[in-house]
Structure 1
Amino acid sequence: MHKYSTPRFSRVCIVDTVYSLFIYLLISSKEETDHTFFFFSDGIDASIRNRFPNHYYIPSKDFPKRNFISRLWLRLKLRLVAPFKWPFLSSADLYGHDHLCFTPSLTGNRKMTVLEDGMGNYCDNPFGFVEYSGIELLIRNLLFGPLSTKRPLGKSSYAEKVILTGMKSIPEELKQKAILIDLPQMWDALEESEKGRICCLFSIDFAMLKELSQKDTVLFTQPFADEITLDELIGIYRKMLENVDKDKLLIKRHPRDMVDYKTAFPGVCVFDKPIPMELLTLLGVRFKDAYTISSTAVLLLPPTVKIHFSGHAVHPGLLEKYGDIQIGNLKGNK
């Protein structure tokens, strides 16, 4: 019997961001987490992946750079192998991201519960998804399952439920399947042992929290490498921070952001540990000012924090792909 064929895996979680992984851990009991098999990709750092004994790593960082035949073969190979290597995929409850390149190869025609992955769940079509038809629709359905031909981020009929925090008005097509959660409320309701378990999974310690408490301003970065040049991005951040005391500044790098901010901002504290800021906020890390282009991490900061939210209008590439967005359009104005 294959080592993964044991029926104890009653759940499967497919995620590629620490934010969505944190949400899954919050909505799941320890027993449910122990009975979950995880599929991770590059968005979940190895230091975190390795703390989950029941997981499989699917590298996807270089996937877009491959040619069409190579991408097709990798997805098709996974589709053919998955039922035999992980037979529990046919019966386990499915959670996670429906927009990853490999998700349809794992889920086939089964339904799943989609976990919020930031602002994308509230946008109409942030990834520029193309509606397929004719022979291409038939081939994609046959090779990878119907999820590969449907709009992602909870909008397809294969997304049975969508876990959302309500950071923006819920799209009409999600209202019937949306389950709203309150992260601070859920965190406060946890037993101390459960809080400790989650902190351990993300490698959080008291020395780290003490260091962060010495900063009063934070910049939340984002992985915008495909929409904007490095020089343009650094230029935007420098203009945002020109009047900030650099000794009191913390740059919180997004887990998928590969920019070397220590070189771009010499002497500034760069926090690049793969920990969701939402969790650090719940642990008591406080700031007076928070700067960002459009990171939704600012939505969980206490109301005493002054938010400097630039929005996508700071660059035409961002505006074209993601549309205009301001802090007033978000959680406080549903």
Structure 2
Amino acid sequence: MLYDEWWAGKRYIRMLTCTKTCPLSHHQRLVSSRLVYKMRDGKPVLRGDLADALGLDPQTVSAATKSLVAHGLAARSGRGHVAVEPMGETASWFGRRHEGERWWECLPTYRLYPLTEQARRTRWNRGGHLTEMDNAVLWLLYSLGKGTPEVVGQANRGLKALLGCSLDTLKAAIRRLAGNGLVMARSDGFTLLAPTAEASAWWQDRKRKGTSQTQQEKHREAEEESAIDFAALVCRAYPADSRENWDFLADILGKKADVMLAGRFTRREVREYWAGVLPMLTDADRAFNFVALAWEAHWNEAVQVHGGKGVHDSCFHLLKKVTGQRLAASQRPVLIDQQ
């Protein structure tokens, strides 16, 4: 994926995917996305923490939280705020949900990589390279590209509606992105371009050891970025099989993982999926038959049910469900009615 090829080591925010009917401003969407993401911590988020995490000034955060409370998407809790599940009209402001146990894990998201203070162009920093809206346009294009550099059939008016900005603002953003060698506009869409080393430095680096990250955040990032050791998964599932069988099965699993990663699954999700599926198969031979012959049908079914417009990360829970049901059904004994 382009994220791994071009943006490895960069920090990103899980931005909520909004529909064309969403009236929220970009800053309100940023704050709402952060509040939803932090629901997993089970405690309110202070406005100062929102400002630090999102690179916004306190006044902007205050205005955004007030608006979100008015829309019923946030609530005051002690000295901070918590996200509130979109219901009724506000539910239609966000993309189609995927399956999950907690509502804040079901809302679709995409990656938005925040700019550094020096690179962000504002009224106080005219020497900055890109505005906040320029950056929002760039990462929406990455999302629409679904892991490829080509964004085909996407018109400016559609982008404007998805971002909630004016057409003039959008056109200015595209001009700046093109001028900085990040995007090439075409008659039928856009092409995303690899950033130069100089341009790559405009985005924030991910925090490493020795920073203020919590142990939970460090573990999550390490798990997300680490390579998947399929040989270890296979060995653990089928300890009695030969090393030759382990290596052969691990190789084909790696190829299926490439398909899943291109479909915007995370490495953690790919690892979790196969770690759950392999023990359901009795041996490496049966696992090979499933992976080589049956898995693609499960994948296609999950993709088709979840929208038919392309693969996205919401397929994860559905793919687990489809595979679990099919494997369970195949292992049921057949009862023969003897008359």
TM-score between both structures, scaled by the size of structure 2: 0.30
Q: Which has more strand, going by share of residues?
A: 1
Q: Which has more helix, going by share of residues?
A: 2
TM-score between both structures, scaled by the size of structure 1: 0.30
- Structure with bigger gyration radius: 2
